Amino acid sequence: MSATQAQVKPERKRSREIFEKAEKVLVGGVNSPVRAFRSVGGEPLIIERGSGQYLYDADGNPLLDYVCSWGAMLLGHAHPAVTKAIAEQAGRGTSFGVTTELELELATLITKAIPFLEKVRFVSSGTEATMSAVRLARGVTKRDLIIKFEGCYHGHADSFLSQAGSGLATLGIAECPGVPQALAALTINVPYNDLAGVEKVFSEQKEKIAAVIVEPIAANMGVVLPKEGFLQGLRELTKKHGALLIIDEVITGFRLQNGSAQTLLGVQGDLTTMGKIIGGGVPVAAYGGSAELMNNVAPLGPVYQAGTLAGNPLAMSAGIATLKELAKPGIYENIAANAKKLVHGLKNALAGAGIAAQVNSIGSLSTVFFAPEPVADYTGAKRSDTKVYARYFREMLNRGIFLAPSQFEAAFVSANHTPADIDRTIATAQEVLKSLAA
């Protein structure tokens, strides 16, 4: 399909009918707010299946997918090795509520790729992983306060729902009703990349900070890279003040290389959280760290955390198959080459259209911010013209390119995207951006 073939909005009659029925039994017709497309307008998608780099909606329209289940599908949709592993395990049983050897195998693959993780605990979602890591930090330090960064999203646990990115940024929610003020007061927000601000909080709250939690590369206010020395400074401050550093790699874990982004960035947290890619599209996440720290978790220690579906054999099988594929030579180099080509093409397309915008990127992660100045924190991200982004999103979607339905999210390149896909995307973006500038 050429960039000009799909200028007419595709018909989505069946998708519309399904969504209208869903609105009667599901809150907003969805099970996660951003899927409702409220910030970008238009009709929400109803997806029937995925294959490689493509999604197919309920009306059979193909979509070149740069959402990739919000980063989980690094290998693309329905990867043969992953689907085979899931199917074979389903034939043996889907949940046992007791330990399987699969849990050992996936944990070994993770700790081999990230040697500073001596022990891990599997959970079912990124929210569970970050929530559990914070509980562990509080339990070990005997302190209550945590520091997080404006625009960083660490899931929807109460401790994280103030000045958070992702869906809250998309919907314009600064403070979430239902979170008790007394609990919200235990979380201190600092601008991302503001090391001096963190130092000021530590000086004011002596021996009260349990942990600092941070995305090593922010990807939930859109992609924002850490400034030189920022992460290393957090490491030094937390050590100096007896607090723990929690590195949230739910998005970045196994995204940029076969292992942790911390290795690339020259920092090492006390605790690391992971999700998305380690489950190959099946719900699984994990938190881990040194044996000394992790041994404080029940049953070895007093910090309690449990889950009926934790270590679920379907999820473990999908994760094992995924990480084995990612260990093969050349895969990350190919992904990075395509992503670099995409970013270069988008920058040229924006310049050619005379549109003021920023393209923040690292590896296979990128965001086009329709903002006049460089974006280095949440304040900068919020200066973006979300109305222009909404038009850009809809016009790209009408031409068969699926981007995140929010200005404040990342685009993901998968192992299935080809140079031809990238060329098509750039050509489509050139056409759309020129129409927006007209």
Provide the annotated active-site residues: 153, 248, 276
How many of the other CB atoms lie within 10 Å of CB of 207?
12
Between the CA atoms of 398, 402, 405 and 407, what dihedral angle is there, to the nearest 10 degrees?
A: -100
Nearest to 269 by CA among 296, 292, 236: 236
**Residue 70 half-sphere exposure toward CB, CA atoms < 13 A:** 21
The letter for the amino acid at 114 is I
* Residue the block writes with tokens 């009408």: 398
Sheet of strand 401-402: strand arrangement: 47-51, 54-57, 62-65, 401-402
Q: Name the phi and psi angles at 358, rounded to 5.
A: -120, 140
Q: Which of 253, 280, 276, 275 is nearest to 265 (CA)?
A: 253
Q: How many helices (H) and strands (E) does the chain have?
A: 15, 14
CA distance 99 to 105: 12
Cα angle 114-410-335, degrees, rounded to a multiple of 5:
60
Helix pair 313-326, 80-90: axis angle to 10 deg: 160
Q: How far is CA 418 from the centre of its chain?
A: 22
d(CA 255, CA 72): 9
What is the H or E stretch that residue 20 is in?
Answer: helix 13-25
